[in-house]
Amino acid sequence: MAKILLLGSGELGKEFVIAAQRLGQYVIAVDSYKNAPAMQVAHESAVINMLDGKALDALVAKYNPDYIIPEIEAIRTERFYDYEKQGFTVIPSAKAANFTMNRKAIRDLAAKDLGLKTARYRYATSATSLKEAVAVVGMPCVVKPLMSSSGKGQSTIKTEADIDKAWTYSQEGSRGDVAEVIVEEFVNFNYEITLLTVTQREAPTLFCPPIGHRQERGDYQESWQPATMEAAHLQEAQDMAAKVTAALGGAGLWGVEFFVGDDGVYFSELSPRPHDTGMVTLANTQNYNEFELHLRAVLGLKISEITLERIGASAVILASETSSSPTFEGVEDIASEQKSDFRLFGKPTSRPYRRMGVVVTYDHLDASVAAVTKRAKELASKVKVVS
């Protein structure tokens, strides 16, 4: 039995803990608030500010874990290098955690060091330098905090009047103590995908069938698997994913995001852990869902292949109001639906647009992905989060 220290305990962490429990692993779930989703299914839990390096050090010393697994961005990740020197295993690696928790590091690695195709970009540290960056990149453009998740602090600049608002919003949505933002040109893409990529210690890197997704406010709303794309574009994305994950090192599952346009594939972002769009795999679209793949790679269990078993889709259940005791209406309406399932994350509070659950739908391999996705959206719309 391995002892796993899970840093971040949201809905993705919860599904990872469930996968770990099934294989008899011991998990300590950590977050900044009590009763976070993953804490509800872990063996132990702890509440700390993970941006406090001393508190993080004390937690590692207390539990002496076999694996340290980050699940969110707001962590004092530079401490991970010291943990590796002390003999701890950081997943996927200290370098991966540091680079991918900061959009500047991962974008410069991809574009400058590896030569991957990306949107043009600049950085800004103030409203004034944001105006200068926009002048270089051009409008429309997208502004993102270097540290954020689920679209927080992200906005699109279309006119000069949007610049100051975008700067203010980026600072409100930034996680951690990093004020800098990245300014990206708006790529004229046809669609975007997530390519779940599994790196193994002593076995080849594997790729899941591509996942298509739609976003609003920078956060995913629906995802479907497989996404339809040209074989040449898929190969291009796989080559890019293999290069960037190899450069970062370590074993685990990565969510690598790409834009696909008429002129080819653009690298967008990367997460060194299960991805929110990958919740579609909870519909058993694959022989292993993304959380099981992550765990097996972490434990060094060889994964011989990843196979598509059926098509599937996911659609999020969002809150519309703030509540300290949210409940759900309409679950009964979808519970009896065929070829469908749902997850309620168990978050103790709600706020507008917070993900509170997900509906997954599926069908046989020859069925229509568009129809399965439409059904997931329709079912998710029947569930209301209320106070």
Query: pLDDT tier at 229 (50, 70, 90 boundaries)?
Result: very high
> What pLDDT, on the 0 to 100 scale, is given for residue 146?
84
Specify the domain boundaries for CATH 3.30.1490.20 within the chain: 120-185
Residue 254 has pLDDT above 80, yes or no: yes
CATH 3.30.70.940 fits domain 191-386:
no
Q: How confident is the model at residue 107 (pLDDT cuts 50, 70, 90)?
A: very high
Residue 20 has pLDDT above 70, yes or no: yes
Options 148, 277, 314, 373, the catalytic residue = 277
Concatenated DSSP letters of 90-147: ESS-HHHHHHHTSHHHHHHIIIIIS------EEEESSHHHHHHHHHHH-SSEEEEESS
Map tokens 């599937």 to a residue.
312
Q: Which residue has the higher pLDDT, 173 or 164?
A: 164
- Which of 76, 175, 355, 375 is catalytic? The answer is 355
Asked if pLDDT for residue 222 goes beyond 90, the answer is yes
309 catalytically annotated: no
pLDDT recorded at residue 174? 73
As a whole number, mean pLDDT of residues 123-144 equals: 93
Q: What is the mean pLDDT of residues 209-217?
A: 93
Arithmetic mean of pLDDT over the chain: 94
Assign residue 210 a region (left: φ > 0; alpha: ψ between -120 and 50; beta: otherwise).
beta
Q: Is the pLDDT of residue 86 over 70?
A: yes
Segment 106-127 shows an average pLDDT of: 94
Q: Where in the chain is the domain with CATH 3.30.470.20?
A: 191-386
DSSP state of 210: P
Fold of 3-90: Rossmann fold (3.40.50)
Please tell me the CATH code under which domain 120-185 is placed.
Answer: 3.30.1490.20
pLDDT band at 179 (very low <50, low <70, confident <90, very high): confident
User: In the predicted model, what is the mean pLDDT of residues 64-86?
Assistant: 95
User: Active site includes 307?
Assistant: no
Q: Mean of the pLDDT values across residues 289-293? A: 98
What is the mean predicted confidence (pLDDT) over 339-358? 96
> Could you confirm whether 355 is annotated as catalytic?
yes
What is the reported pLDDT for 151?
67
Candidate list 32, 66, 129, 151, residue with the active-site label: 151
Over residues 80-97, the mean pLDDT reads 97
Looking at per-residue pLDDT, the higher value among 74 and 286 belongs to 286
At residue 177, does pLDDT exceed 80? no
* Per-residue exposure over 353-366, b if at least 16 CB sit within 10 Å of its own CB, e if not: ebbbbbbbbbbeee
Reported confidence tier of residue 149, pLDDT bands at 50, 70, 90: low
Distance of alpha carbon 71 from alpha carbon 91, whole angstroms: 10
Q: Per the residue annotation, which of 89, 149, 174, 340 is the catalytic one?
A: 149
User: pLDDT at residue 348 above 80?
Assistant: yes
Is 149 one of the catalytic residues? yes
Using 50, 70 and 90 to split pLDDT, how confident is the model at 187? confident
Domain with CATH 3.40.50.20 in the chain: 3-90
Structure tokens at 135: 């002048």
pLDDT digits (tens, 9 = 90+) for 354-366: 999 999 999 999 9
Is 11 a known active-site residue? Answer: no
Whether residue 269 lies in the annotated active site: yes
Q: What is the pLDDT of residue 73?
A: 81
* pLDDT at residue 205 in the model: 98
